[in-house]
Chain A
Amino acid sequence: MLEQDSQKNNKNHGRLHRIIHFIKVLPQNMLKVIYLLPFFLFGLWLLQMVYFPKVEFKQRVTIVKPIIDDVAFFRKMLETKPAAAKGYFHTPDEYVTQGEHYPPLCSNCHGSYPHSKEKKIRSMLNFHSGFIACAVCHAHEKMPENAKVSFSWVDRETGTITTQVEGEYGKYSAKIFPLKIHKNGLREIFQPVSAEAAQEFIRLKQHFTPDQIAEAKIKLHGNISQKPVNCSECHVKDGYMNFADLGFTPNRVRHLISTEVVGLVEKYKSFYMPNEIDFGKK
């Protein structure tokens, strides 16, 4: 006890002594640790094998690398500047990129070439979207019943209903829209999907659960027809749309409903896959 007291009194001396002792035994202790560590780890591993075999199993399962595993890929898409060479051999002209007064809302999600399902006709359907609004073909079942609906040209620049259309073969100064005609003669462009609703959906999408997203998508597309207008419903005499009323010349109308176009269309009819497959419900 006396010795301990004196050590306490002489703090500095005691600490130094302890440090020197520690340094002296350090190599010895380290050797011990190095020698014992593998045994210790091996013991842990054995214990884990016996009591927690699932941990071992879990560790072995990894996920196969997906094709696009690079998260930076999407960021890079944003940063990629358009190359000097346009990448298109046949110089695209202003008609490819021309703007319009009522730009199609659908293309925000579906792209500027929205048709991709029907391999046989997708490119042809896509060129129709250059001069026909989406709603013409994709909302025909849901058009308002109490009001009359007609098709008319809407000027690309001014957004006004017009009969003065310049150009030919898809290069028109206007686009065909479905119009809702009220009893008092007021004409409105029929838009099946509300722009505000779509924007709100895009804004809130990340907060939704997968089920909510599915529900929201169905609600958003509520006014979209289950089956779009088929090629041969239009390109036929007295078809879905009155080409003569829209101002096409008699010659052009004859061509549009001719056996040439209809033949082409008829040929594809057998390849046509309906959007909705009825699994014996009816």
Chain B
Amino acid sequence: MTIIATNYKEHLVRSLTVQTIAIFFAAVCMLFAVQGLHASSEALPDSENCLYCHRYPQMGRYDENGKKRIFYVNERIFAKSVHGKLSCKSCHVSGLDQIPHTDIKKVDCTTKCHIKEPSTNQEFSHANVVLKMETSVHGRRNKDNPYPEDLPDCKSCHDNPLYATLDGMWCDNEALSNETLARCTVCHVRKEWAESFYTHFTHRMRKKRAQKDIVQLCTGCHEDREKMNRHGLESIETYKDTYHWKQVKYKVENAPDCLTCHVPVGHSTHEMYAQTDPRSPLHMNNRVSTCSHQGGIQVCHPGATPEFAMGRVHAYGAKAELAAAETTIKIGDDTDKSKSLVQIRAKKEISDKEIFHYEVLRYLTLIYKVLIGSTIGFMCLHQFLDYRRTRKRMKHSHHSSHPEKEDKI
């Protein structure tokens, strides 16, 4: 025990980060000692006895659109989730009093959930972040968008995440969590309460999703060509041709996923804008700082120049092709609305220089295709002719020569 303790102490002395976090924790716990008194409503999960039916795993049905609806809630998993302290009715506000439930409204994340947010002592809701998201490029309040049904809602990206503890963040030492928590409970005698706040902070201290998961999440929509065409966007499968993706694929630490460039330090995932918007990290004025990624865990290209930053990360795709083609597409017909949108955007966003680059790239690709095709084609032809000649010769020698005689050319 003593050996472990000394090792642990040494570890703390060595690791300045851990110590800083610990101090931060003490401060946070003290802050909540004052604020926490007001945080009153800690509803027990299932005080409404919803689990009477909803704890059965196969509870569910197919809805009117044929979508499989699972009505099962694992109470143990839910209790460990970030919403675990909420009662069902905090989010499912209507239609629950009747069995079977009728007139159910879709859960609205902007609902005030009667838990007081300690810094303001106001009832908590996600309204703030929802408003930001709704006015961003992914938001449905963006009236220019002809296909609002394609845009994501909260659930498109979020499920009910489980609290992550401090274990495994810096070391796989469960004792670290226990000791940190022990320091909190010195003052905050209600262990359950202390644990809840402790897990809240440890959960928020790091990115929960792996880089690959983020790429998978974004590509879920952004690789759908049909969907992207509707919005005048390029399908982003070309990201997978880049070195960035190779790093993500082979799990290099701090490898750049979609959010590293599109939401660098100081920006929010819920506030993403078109690259023509000056607020976007990919706006021409902000690109140098985005590539260098100063202030992030990984400073990526510290010496980035404007020329470097202008380079395309996603290779030339459908948009450049359309801009270069100069074909006219009827505007007004509903089916062609999307195509015309792509073209309008392409013409607006792609410079002549880029179109020239695209043309060069296209001819290079063509030359290589012809070169490779003809090389292999000639090889096949040569092999075939060689085979024919050999066969002919063998036939000839078989007919005319005696087995004792050596066949010489």
Contacts and interface: CB of A to CB of B under 8 A. Distances in A.
Given A85-B156, A89-B155, A121-B100, A126 B59 contact: yes
Given A92-B72, A95-B57, A170-B57, A264 B99 contact: yes
Given A115-B61, A122-B61, A123-B100, A90 B78 contact: yes
Interface string B143-179: 0000000000001111110100000000000000000
Contact of A170 (B58, B158, B216): B58
A88 B61 contact: no
Interface residues of A, number: 35
A124 interface: yes
Contacts of A98: 57
Interface residues of B, number: 32
B60 interface: yes
Contacts of B157: 85
B378 interface: no
A249 interface: no
Contacts of A126: 58-61
Contacts of B74: 90-93, 95
Interface in B63-88: 68, 70-74, 77-78, 81
A119 to B, nearest CB: 7
A244 B321 CA distance: 73
Contact of A93 (B53, B57, B159, B217): B57
Interface in A143-194: 169-171
Interface string B196-216: 000000000000000001001
B58 A85 contact: no
B127 to A, nearest CB: 18
A169 B74 CA distance: 11
A127 B57 contact: yes
Contact of B58 (A87, A89, A127, A264): A127
B381 to A, nearest CB: 38
A116 B60 CA distance: 10
Contacts of A113: 58, 60-62, 68
B220 interface: yes
Contacts of A96: 57-58, 70, 72
A92 B220 contact: no
A122 B63 CA distance: 11
B56 interface: yes
A162 B119 CA distance: 56
Interface string A4-42: 000000000000000000000000000000000000000
Nearest to B218: A84
Interface in A87-131: 87-93, 95-96, 98, 111-113, 115-116, 119-124, 126-131
A90 B72 contact: yes
A91 B77 contact: yes
B240 interface: no
Given A84-B220, A95-B57, A171-B57, A90 B156 contact: no
Contacts of B56: 127-128, 130, 169-170
Contact of A129 (B58, B68, B216): B58
A83 B219 CA distance: 9
Contacts of B59: 123-124, 126-127
Nearest to A77: B66
A75 interface: no
A82 to B, nearest CB: 9
Given A126-B59, A126-B60, A170-B58, A85 B72 contact: no
B87 to A, nearest CB: 14
B78 A116 contact: no
B55 interface: yes
Nearest to B160: A89
A101 to B, nearest CB: 17
Contact of A85 (B55, B99, B217): B217
A169 B77 CA distance: 16
A86 interface: yes
A170 B70 CA distance: 15
Contacts of B78: 90
Interface centre among B57, B73, B99, B162 (most CB of A within 10 A): B57
Contact of B159 (A86, A112, A128, A129): A86
A267 to B, nearest CB: 8
A178 B220 CA distance: 44
Contacts of B160: 89-91
A116 B104 CA distance: 18
Interface centre among A84, A111, A121 (most CB of B within 10 A): A84
Nearest to B107: A89
A26 B68 CA distance: 69
Nearest to B77: A91
Contacts of A92: 70, 72, 74
B213 A88 contact: no
B372 to A, nearest CB: 30
Contacts of A90: 70, 72-74, 77-78, 159-160
A93 B56 CA distance: 11
A93 B77 contact: yes
Contacts of B100: 119-121, 123
Contacts of B216: 84
Contacts of B72: 90, 92, 95-96, 127
Nearest to A264: B99
B62 A130 contact: no
Interface string B319-348: 000000000000000000000000000000
List 7 tightest A-B contacts by C-beta distance, closest first: A130-B58, A127-B56, A170-B56, A95-B57, A127-B59, A84-B216, A84-B217
Interface of B: 53, 55-62, 68, 70-74, 77-78, 81, 99-100, 107, 155-160, 162, 213, 216-217, 220
Given A126-B58, A126-B59, A126-B61, 15 more contacts: A89-B158, A90-B72, A90-B77, A91-B74, A91-B159, A91-B160, A93-B77, A113-B62, A113-B68, A119-B100, A121-B100, A123-B53, A127-B53, A169-B56, A170-B57
9 contacts: A85-B156, A90-B77, A91-B160, A95-B72, A112-B58, A113-B62, A121-B100, A124-B53, A129-B58
